């Protein structure tokens, strides 16, 4: 059986469409939100280099063409009104920066819930899930320094706890930072882990 035209280029290598579908299927998701679209975009670049760069809109069109479920409504509901709130939130390379990121996410979540802006609140959660996935990807990458992988694993854990129990997170975090395990793993604390 010969491949479909969108699956392989004439020289036998997968086309960009095939690469997008391959990455999407590897995520094993029932639906693709803006967070998964961004993850697909980043994985394409990580796997195939700069030539794999593509827009989120193109990824969405390819996923829909492949019959995969794409749910963009929460992002589109907040687009323009709140998107500036989400800019640059997920820049963290240290535990201290990750804590500040979660503080900001928590502030936004409480603000949007207080204003009964459910789509914007869900967008905050999507951004947090994306942050968690980014940290997990780095934590699993054995090409990355072991200390950095441990830091990213800890950050992914923080995101998990915040997503599950945002009201208890900051109390939990204070206890976590005092724990013997944390002190052994990160002897310099949150600010000296780079």
pLDDT tens for each residue of 77-133: 444 555 555 656 777 889 999 999 999 999 999 999 999 888 888 989 999 999 999
pLDDT higher than 80, residue 183: yes
- 94 assigned to some structural domain: yes
pLDDT higher than 70, residue 190: no
Domain boundary (56, 71, 86) is at: 71
More confident residue, 142 or 31: 142
Paired tokens of 43: 């994985």
Paired tokens of 95: 């535990």
Paired tokens of 19: 């690469």
Over the chain, what HEC string results? CCCCCCCECCCCCECHHHHHHHHHHHHCCCCECHHHHHHHHHHHHHHHCHHHCCCHHHHHHHHHHCCCCECCHHHHHHCCCCHHHHCCCCCCCCHHHHHHHHHHHHHHHHHHHHCCCHHHHHHHHHHHHHHHHHHHHHHHCCCCCHHHHHHHHHHHHHHHHHHHCCCCHHHHHHHHHHCHHHHHHCCCCCCCCC
Say if residue 22 is in the same domain as residue 85: no
Phi, psi (deg, nearest 5) at residue 175: -65, -45
- 9 assigned to some structural domain: no
Cα angle: 163, vertex 121, 95; to 5 degrees:
40
pLDDT higher than 80, residue 178: yes
Confidence of residue 10 (pLDDT cuts 50, 70, 90): very low
More confident residue, 189 or 184: 184
Confidence of residue 12 (pLDDT cuts 50, 70, 90): very low
- 11 assigned to some structural domain: no
Q: Which domain holds residue 85?
A: 74-185
Phi, psi (deg, nearest 5) at residue 14: -60, 145
Give the pLDDT confidence score for residue 159 in this predicted structure: 97
Give the pLDDT confidence score for residue 82 in this predicted structure: 57
More confident residue, 79 or 146: 146
Confidence of residue 29 (pLDDT cuts 50, 70, 90): confident
Determine the average pLDDT of the residues in 174-190: 87
Q: How many structural domains comprise the chain?
A: 2
């Amino acid at each position: 059986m010969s491949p479909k035209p969108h699956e392989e280029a004439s020289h036998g290598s997968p086309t960009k469409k095939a690469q997008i579908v391959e990455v999407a299927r590897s995520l094993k998701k029932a639906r693709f939100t803006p967070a998964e679209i961004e993850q697909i975009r980043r994985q394409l670049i990580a796997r195939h280099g700069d030539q794999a760069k593509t827009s989120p809109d193109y990824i969405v069109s390819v996923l829909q063409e492949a019959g995969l479920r794409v749910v963009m409504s929460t992002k589109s509901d907040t687009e323009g009104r709140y998107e500036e709130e989400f800019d640059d939130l997920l820049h963290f390379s240290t535990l201290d920066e990750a804590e500040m990121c979660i503080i900001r996410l928590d502030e936004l979540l409480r603000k949007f819930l207080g204003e009964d802006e459910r789509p914007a609140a869900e967008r905050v959660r999507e951004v947090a899930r994306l942050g968690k996935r980014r940290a997990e990807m780095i934590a699993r990458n054995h090409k990355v320094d072991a200390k950095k992988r441990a830091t990213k694993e800890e950050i992914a854990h923080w995101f998990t706890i915040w997503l599950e129990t945002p009201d208890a997170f900051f109390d939990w975090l204070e206890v976590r930072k005092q724990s013997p395990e944390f002190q052994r793993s990160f002897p310099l604390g949150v600010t000296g882990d780079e």
